[in-house]
Amino acid sequence: MRARLSDIAQQAEVSEATVSRVLNDRPGVAPETRQAVLTALDVLGYERPARLRKRSAGLVGLVVPELDNPIFPAFAQIIESALAPTGYTPVLCTQTPGGVREDEYVEMLLDRQVSGIVFVSGLHADTAADHDRYRTLLARPLPIVMINGYAPGIPAPFVSCDDRESAELAVAHLVALGHRRIGLITGPDRFVPVQRKVAGYKAAMRRLTDVSDDDLTELTELSLFGVEGGEAAAGRLIERGATGLVCGSDLMALGAIRAARQRGLSVPEDVSVVGYDDSPLMAFTDPPLTTVRQPVAAMAVAAVRALVDEINGHPSPNSEYLFRPELVVRGSTAVTRPATSPKRQRPAPSSLAIPA
């Protein structure tokens, strides 16, 4: 035991007497010092005394729509990290096309007696969905928090990025570079974030350019989320003379870059592309992607705090908390070519250096 105390004390850089006080759960030790000793125990492979073992406060459901888009694993990772100090363990539920639906996951989570659920871009964001499912959960009562997507009439906290401002930031950036034929590529219009992006895009275009409403309709393409949807929509907009493209996700932006290259155009020399999310690895695409960053860390931490407060009987105001996006300028946007300059046409490359 003496040797073990010595090893632990050396690892934690404290005295053996301090180690003894921590192991015996005695008062008089600063919280950071106590944590250092417990960490030393873990690092050295010693089992913590039963009285000092961390107990789970319970389970929390975490429902995300997919993991193909890197932004959703990013949310899941930060939510898990934010939950760890509270003692709650997340149960990750990932939806896939043709797989388990959100309602089925909720039933499974209820069977596991979760203390609450965080929904990321769930059916609450879909205006065509029946939102009574959430009112039923709240009536149990079960604390829930929604990320990205607002549904009026649901008395729960909502945490969202300001999608309207994100579109305005992207348009303003492209206008500053001389672009006027700026297209918008985003998902189906039944989703609240899409509706907000469209509204922000049109407001910025009306304010900053002389494009007519008919042109705005022609320059707006609603498609499927993902690389393929972005590629198809971008092809149509490029054929209509768009020199700048604002995309509803980074994956759609990668599809837009692919569409431009398949037509022998260069990004950003011929077509500038702006993504949305700033998901991991976007700084390493070819070219590095200019995008509008969601403050994922701040949003995830806020959602966890709201949920834990709800669980502990200290509910947050039932309203939507909007977080400001940030424009991140990289290599996929540039000053537009003068109207009199011919575009350089090149054969489409056989392969693209764009991570899918």
- Residue 57, pLDDT above cutoff 80: no
Q: What's residue 86's pLDDT?
A: 87
Q: Is it the case that residue 221 has pLDDT exceeding 70?
A: yes
Of 71, 67, 113, 90, which Cα lies nearest the Cα of 307? 90
Question: Of 39-48, 221-230, 263-272, where does mean pLDDT reach its minimum?
Answer: 39-48
Of the candidates 147, 153, 140, the residue with the CA atom closest to the CA atom of residue 311: 140
From CA 329, how far away is CA 331, in angstroms rounded?
Answer: 7
Mean pLDDT on 77-96: 89
The mean pLDDT value for 8-20 works out to: 89
Question: Which whole number is the average pLDDT over 35-51?
Answer: 80
CB contact at 8 A, 159 and 146: yes
Query: Token pair for residue 109?
Result: 């989570």
This prediction has a pTM of 0.80
Residue 161's pLDDT is 97
What are the pLDDT digits (tens) for 133-157? 999 999 999 999 999 999 988 999 9
Give strand pairing partners of 224.
Answer: none
In percent, the amount of the chain with pLDDT more than 70 equals 92
Residue-level pLDDT at 353:
43
pLDDT in tens, 177-203: 999 999 999 999 999 999 999 999 999
- In the chain the domains, ranked by start, together with CATH numbers, are 2-52 (1.10.260.40), 58-162+296-325 (3.40.50.2300), 164-294 (3.40.50.2300)
Instruction: Report which residue type is found at 112.
Output: R
Closest CA to 49 of 84, 12, 1: 1
Better pLDDT: 66 or 109: 109
Which residue did the predictor score with more confidence, 349 or 217? 217
Question: Stretch 74-103: mean pLDDT, rounded?
Answer: 88
| Cα distance between the two ends of the chain | 55
Check: CB of residue 279 under 8 Å from CB of residue 250. yes
How far CA 113 is from CA of 61, 102, 265, in Å, comes to 10, 17, 55
Concatenated DSSP letters for 288-314?
A: PPEEEE--HHHHHHHHHHHHHHHHTT-
What pLDDT score was predicted for residue 55? 58
Q: Which pLDDT tens digit goes with each residue over 247-301?
A: 999 999 999 999 999 999 999 999 999 999 999 899 999 999 999 999 999 999 9
